[in-house]
Amino acid sequence: MNYKGISFFLGLFCFPISLLAFINILYATYFDYFLSIETYFTTLVASLILGVGLLYLGKNSIKKINYIDQLVLIISTYFLISILIAIPFYLSNYQVTLLNSIFEAVSGLTATGFSIFKNIKYLDPTLILWRSSSQWIGGLYFLIFLIIIFSNKTFNYKMTDLVYSGDSNYKSEVNIKENITKIIIIYSMLSLIIFTLLNISGLRLFNSLNMSMTLISGGGFLPIDDINKIIATNLQKIIFFLSLIISLLNLFLLFNLFNKKNLLDGHKEDLYLILSLLLLFGLISFNDYPAFNLIISISSSLANSGLTLLEQGDNLTLYFLLITMVGGSLISNTSGIKLIRFYILLKITSSEILKLISPNSIINKTIFSSNRKLSDENVRISFLIFISFFVSLFILSSFLVLDNIGFEKSFKLSILTLTNTLNSTMYNMDNIIFTNLLTSSKLGLIFFMIVGKIELISIFLIFKKIIFKD
């Protein structure tokens, strides 16, 4: 394993945390929040020293790392960056334990939204900003992993090649830099658009900034305890809904909008997601719920955000959980099994049934009726991901059921953890106090929040490499 090469890239991922810490220092200085400014100085120094040290360690290494090394890099990034993000929580005046600080940091970095803080309105504004920015940077990291690493043909279990029309041949350093630059520009531009729209709608500048970072990453951290207090008018609800749609669709949709005349061929997955959203709304809207709040909740479930304007999910909780398990586009910050994998499994199953009925029939193996065809590898991977999701669900539920929260809540919380979704009123899970959970439960949630992003199959691949030395 190329440890020095991994060290080099790991060092690079430390520097954005230095930038976030510097921004918080400027914010604290401008608004006279000097009580907490030392925590961000500590984070700035720690991230810079660690980044420079890791770069120095790997400066003479071979920069081209193989697929298993890339997976180790991703997992190492989540754990190391979470420790850096945890510093302001741990050093704050709120007496947060080290484990709880790391729990909050991992929840932010993976855009899950589980929080050990119950009264957000009493938090230092700099800490609220830090929580939101941890989601934003986590979303950016994941998109870079998704396009640069998970597009690797060695074991393409993310299957981004089915919906990504860009250059996935990252053999040259120039190609990698160009694609990372493109991702940063698109992600920042979408964040700015959401921020501007929220600000125009009447939200305070501070709330608009925090909400924009939360929504673009598909996260669940809020700058206030009750979202209904800041998303109240019809205009704000419309912008909230559109922001959720942006986060669940293909990142490159907006980019391709300005570069392609015909978007239909390259973004049929997004079209199917929109159609699914409308279909789900039609099926569920027979219940006596405010129509627009309902469609916002459905969008939030698909986007794996969990933010909702509904007071309680009641008898719709199961539907919302099932939608959450689906998730949005392959090239987005959403988690879940993904619509396209469900599509593949359903299509292959129906094809096999059709072959039994009519052996001479011609089977259409295209994906969403496009030019791209399904391979046997796509089918195998879709099946493996489906199985690994439920294996993860069983393992995590077994951990949580030992805690004093009951079987039903353990099962629901496991689904929300694996889909990186906030435990909101939509799922009747908002009353969980994470600080009261057992240490084993917190460690299990931390591990599976990361697994929810990278998927369990990546852990199996690393174990296979270590055990069989292939």
Per-residue pLDDT at 307: 94
Per-residue pLDDT at 199: 94
H and E: helices and strands count for the chain: 17, 0
pTM reported for the whole predicted model: 0.91
Mean pLDDT of 438-464: 91
Q: Examine residue 170 and state whether it is found in any structural domain, yes or no.
A: no
Question: For the segment 179-204, what is each residue's pLDDT rounded down to a tens digit?
Answer: 888 899 999 999 999 999 999 999 99
Lowest mean pLDDT among 52-61, 107-116, 361-370: 361-370
Mean pLDDT of 81-87: 96
In which domain, by residue range, is 352 found? Answer: 263-468
Given a contact cutoff of 8 angstroms between Cβ atoms, the answer to whether 389 and 342 are in contact is no
Higher pLDDT pick, 256 / 243:
243
351 Cβ contact list (under 8 Å, min separation 6): 363, 365
Lowest mean pLDDT among 40-44, 66-70, 132-136, 194-198: 66-70
Residue 286 has pLDDT above 60, yes or no: no
Grouping H, G, I as helix, E, B as strand and the rest as coil, residue 449 is: helix
Nearest-angstrom CA–CA distance, 6 and 69: 7
Q: Examine residue 52 and state whether it is found in any structural domain, yes or no.
A: no
In this structure, what token pair is assigned to residue 72?
């180790």
Mean pLDDT of 362-368: 73
Q: Examine residue 313 and state whether it is found in any structural domain, yes or no.
A: yes
In this structure, what token pair is assigned to residue 243?
């922001």
Higher pLDDT pick, 265 / 311:
311
Per-residue pLDDT at 23: 94
Given a contact cutoff of 8 angstroms between Cβ atoms, the answer to whether 137 and 214 are in contact is no
Per-residue pLDDT at 61: 75
Q: Examine residue 212 and state whether it is found in any structural domain, yes or no.
A: no
In the block, residue with structure tokens 């604290």: 28
Q: Is 90 left (phi over 0), alpha (psi -120 to 50) or beta?
A: alpha
Residue 69 has pLDDT above 50, yes or no: yes
Question: Computed from CA positions of residues 234, 237, 243, 246, in that sequence, does the dihedral angle turn out positive or negative?
Answer: negative
Per-residue pLDDT at 170: 47
Q: Examine residue 361 and state whether it is found in any structural domain, yes or no.
A: yes
Q: Examine residue 94 and state whether it is found in any structural domain, yes or no.
A: no
Per-residue pLDDT at 200: 94
Q: Examine residue 110 and state whether it is found in any structural domain, yes or no.
A: no
Q: Examine residue 408 and state whether it is found in any structural domain, yes or no.
A: yes
Mean pLDDT of 261-266: 64
Per-residue pLDDT at 216: 95
Residue 221 has pLDDT above 80, yes or no: yes
For residue 119, the tally of other CB atoms under 10 A from its CB is: 7
Number of domains forming the structure of the chain:
1
Residue 168 has pLDDT above 70, yes or no: no
Question: For the segment 140-161, what is each residue's pLDDT rounded down to a tens digit?
Answer: 999 999 888 887 777 788 888 7
Question: For the segment 135-144, what is each residue's pLDDT rounded down to a tens digit?
Answer: 999 999 999 9
Higher pLDDT pick, 272 / 287:
272
Nearest-angstrom CA–CA distance, 107 and 102: 8
Question: For the segment 294-336, what is each residue's pLDDT rounded down to a tens digit?
Answer: 889 999 999 999 999 888 766 788 889 999 999 999 899 999 9
